[in-house]
Structure formats: C-alpha cells, structure tokens
Amino acid sequence: MPQTIGVPRETWPGEKRVATVPEVVQKLVKLGFRVAVESGAGDAANFSDDAYRAAGAEIINGAGALWNGSDIVFKVRGPSASEVNLLRTGGTLVSFIWPAQNPDLMQSLAAKKATVLAMDSVPRISRAQKLDALSSMANIGGYRAVIEAAHHFGRFFTGQITAAGKVPPAKVFVIGAGVAGLAAIGTAAGLGAIVRANDTRPEVADQIKSLGGEYIPVEYTEEGSGVGGYAKVMSEGFQKAQRAVFEQQAKDVDIIITTALIPGRPAPKLITAEMVRSMKPGSVIVDMAAEQGGNCELTEPGQVVVQHGVTIIGYADLPSRLAKQASTLYATNLFRLAEELCKTKDGVINVNMEDEVLRGTTVIKEGTVTWPPPAPKLSAAPPAAAKPAAMPAKAGGHGKPGAPASAKSTAIVFAVGVVVFCLIGVNSPPAFLTHLTVFALACFVGYMVVWNVTPALHTPLMSVTNAISSIIAIGALVQIAPPGDAARPEELIRWLAVAAIVLTSINMLGGFAVTQRMLAMFRK
C-alpha cells in the first residue's frame, strides 16, 4: 500500500520555507506516494493550497491530523518537542537535524522508534550531490548575504564617475570559499565590487579567481582540508598568521562576509572586537555563521546591531529570506532522496543501510541511533602492475636484462623484413605496393597525432580527427565513383567504401557537435 508523505507548516519563528512545492508534488505522486500538505504550509513561500491541490496533494487542516496521518514527514527545520510528540511511533522523518548539536532531540526521536534521515548528514560524495541540501541552502545564503550587505551599505558597490563626483568601488572581503563563500564572491563581483577572499584550503584559489575575486593567502604552510571537503581546526601558529591577515583586511575593506564553519563545532571566532573598531565607519559585517555562535565576537544571532560605527548582521535565516527559491531547491533535494528510497516506484520506501548514501544520511533507524556513520569508502587504488620477470641473459650477450638489441640482431630483422616485402611486391598487383605504403604511413600518422596523445588533450584534437575523417571520406567517394575511364571497383570494395563514408560522417558530425558545446561554455 502506498505510503503518505506529510508536509507540515514550519513552526520555527520567522521560517518561511516549506519542504515541498507543487512542481515536486507531481513527481512524488508519480513515484507512487500519496502527498498531504498542511493548510497554509506554503503561504509564506507564495505557494497556495489550491496550487498543491492542482498538483495532486491532499490539504489537511491542523498539524495534529497531518502528523498522525503521515507515514513519512518532510520538514525543513528540526522538529520541536511538541512536534516530536505528534510524530507517529515508528514513523519516518526527513529534515535538517544537526545530530551533533542536538543530542536531546536525537534521544526523543529514538524513543519514538522513528527512522530519521538528516539532510545535513548527506555524505559529500559525487553520487550524493543531487541530495546535498546544505550546498543548495548555502548557495542561496551566500547570494542573500551580499544583498543584505548592499542594503545596509551607504554606497554603490560599483565605482562610478559622474558630473557630481567620483564614487570608488566597494571593497568586499569574504572569509571562507565554500559554496556560500563562492556564491557571495560571484554576487559581489557581479555588482562591481573589488572582492578578496581567504580560505584555509589553498586549492580553492583558482575558483576564487574564476569568479572575479582575489585570493588572499595566509603565509603559513598547513593543510586545511578536513573530512568530506570541509575545513578543519587549524593550529595555533596558523591562526596567529590568519589573524594578522584579517586585521590588515579589516582596516582596508568596506564589507566583510564570514562563512567559516566546522561540522559539529561552534563557529570559530575570526573577527575580534578590536578588528571591528579598526574598520571604517559605515562598514558592514555579514556573519553567516551566526546560528552556530558567529565568526565575529560582537555578533548577536538573529539581530542587526551597530558596534563602533559598523553594522553587524547576524541573521540566521538568510535562505528563508528567498523562501520561494529556497523551498524549490530543497524540495528537489528531498525528491532525489525519495528516488533513492523508492527505486521500485511503488510508494513504499526502503532505507537500505547497505547503500552508502542512505547509510550516511540515516541518523536513527527504527529507534536505534546510527550516527555518526562510518567514513565514506574511498575508491580503491588500481592494483600495481606486476613487474615483468627479468629475461635471462643469452649466451654471448652482455648479460644485462633490458640491454638494447645488438647491431647484428637489428640487421637480421631488417633483412628479413626486406625479403618479406620483396616477396609481397613480386606476387601482388602493381597498385598494391602504393596502397600498402599509404596504409603504413596512415597508421604511423594516426598513431602520432591521436593515439599517442594524452587523453586530456583528446577534445582539442577534434579538429585534427575531423581532417583525417575528411580524407577518409574523399578516398571512399573515389572508390565508389572512380574518375575517368578507371575500372569500377569490385562490389565488396564499393560496400566497404559506403561503410567508411557512413562511419566518418558520424565521427565528423560528433566532432562538430562537441566543439559547438565547448564554445557555448565560454559564451554568456
């Protein structure tokens, strides 16, 4: 019997997002599920009850009826104590949970014999990217952080020269170049600001530059990548060098956007009160880590405060401030999870703990706490090729394995080749030697320009392979319709020529199509 997915109204103060949208409801119904939505759940995100009905959802009045009638509950924020009580015993909950920060919530859900999948625990592996709600929300948060900074900043972001005077461009410093940081860099650069950024992982420097930012390094060598691509806690020596860089930037820039978070830990304090005092009056700090305590010592979570002439924005609901967009992306992440849970498309989920993605996402299974999950399996390294056994030294040789062939051996091989070639020439048609020579040269040229080139350069070779294909096509056409009074080829040769034309045409068409797609990547 198909299971029912329930979508309640979010009760967290100020939360405007909803866990599914009408467009995704249609897809969930096609997977075999029944979908129930609490009346008014999507109002704050501009999704009406009528839109949900039209998509195939049932509208339920009251949170109690919604929770009690749902086998699976999709939520954005973790449930409150009253919502845990409403959850059906043995039911399934999918939402943000943050198990490391909420041990009491974990125990309450385990007591209900629930199965809980945490969207903040989706493993950072390639196959799970479509479920990565953290990245979806961080992308929106980074964009919105720049918009909030622009709203509180007293000037244009872009520089202007007008009849009334010159306006310098704003200087923006982004701390952390994860998904949120990169979104902020791209948005600020698009508005015309001078953007600088820092991250503990030096490998993101190219990404920062590609978005129009300048990478500001810390002159201290230490690896900053943690498990799953997140940042890790750095040494005291690195932190001291980092503070010196931040102090210098704080005096020069107009806007600081902080995004630094370490999974399972409070947000590191990167912007001190002294740095805030050194900033120019009218400057802005957007602390995207405010919900976890903040990267700035003077941040007040959920509030906008002015300290020493600097506006410090500590909103904990940046994605919720773009509720329609955030709801759509989050609902898509949940739908992709539903596809993994219901591969049979019969409306019944199967939490397969042998699946690496589902195992990492599941924090409670039927009342048993399964968090933290085992470390993601890394792709096995290819086995080392067995070393060939050393050839025994031949009598009369130098006695060294791998020694180059002697001049006598080379002369014998060459002589045998000449004899074989002469025998073929004497007993073959006159035109055969010409064709054989062309074939040998073609094999050599093809090996040198295509096969012998590293795979990383195969795509730029598309024009070369198209040229070779054109030569093959011309040769095949000559075989099909020989010029002048030349004898018509045998039937087998004609059909081989036809096949050559068909295959080379496909290769040429594919080459031009791939080239066109490559060129399109560089167009805006």
The single residue of 53, 101, 230, 494 carrying the catalytic annotation is 230
Cβ-count burial 411-450 (b if 16+ within 10 Å, e if not) = eeeeeeeeeeeeeeeeeeeeeeeeeeeeeeeeeeeeeeee
Question: Any catalytic annotation for residue 143?
Answer: no
Note if 336 is an active site residue. no
ω into 263 cis (within 30 of 0): no
Q: Which DSSP symbol is given to 176?
A: -
Q: Is 220 a catalytic residue?
A: no
Beta carbons within 8 Å of 44's beta carbon, 6+ residues apart: 15, 16, 17, 18, 323
Spatial strand order of the sheet with 171-175 comes to 214-215, 194-198, 171-175, 255-258, 284-287, 310-313, 304-307
Q: Which residues contact 16 (CB under 8 A, 6 or more apart)?
A: 10, 44, 45, 317, 320, 321, 323
The answer to whether 201 and 225 have CB atoms below 8 angstroms apart is yes
Would strands 160-162 and 115-118 be described as parallel, antiparallel, or unpaired?
Answer: unpaired
230 is catalytic: yes
Among residues 129, 235, 248, 409, which one is catalytic? 129
Q: Residue 103 carries which side chain, given as an amino acid letter? A: P
Long-range CB contacts for residues 457-460, cutoff 8 Å, separation at least 24: 459/514, 459/518
Exactly one of 132, 199, 254, 287 is catalytic; name it.
Answer: 132
Q: Is 124 a catalytic residue?
A: yes
DSSP state of 70: -
Q: Which of 53, 124, 155, 494 is catalytic?
A: 124
Mind spelling out the 3-state secondary structure of 331-378? HHHHHHHHHHHCCCCCCCCCCCCCCHHHHHHEEEECCEECCCCCCCCC
The answer to whether 182 touches 208, Cβ cutoff 8 Å, is yes
Catalytic residue among 3, 70, 121, 135: 135
Beta strand ranges found along 176-271 (DSSP E) = 194-198, 214-215, 255-258
Phi, psi of 336 (to 5 degrees): -65, -35
User: Hey, which residues are catalytic here?
Assistant: 124, 129, 132, 135, 230
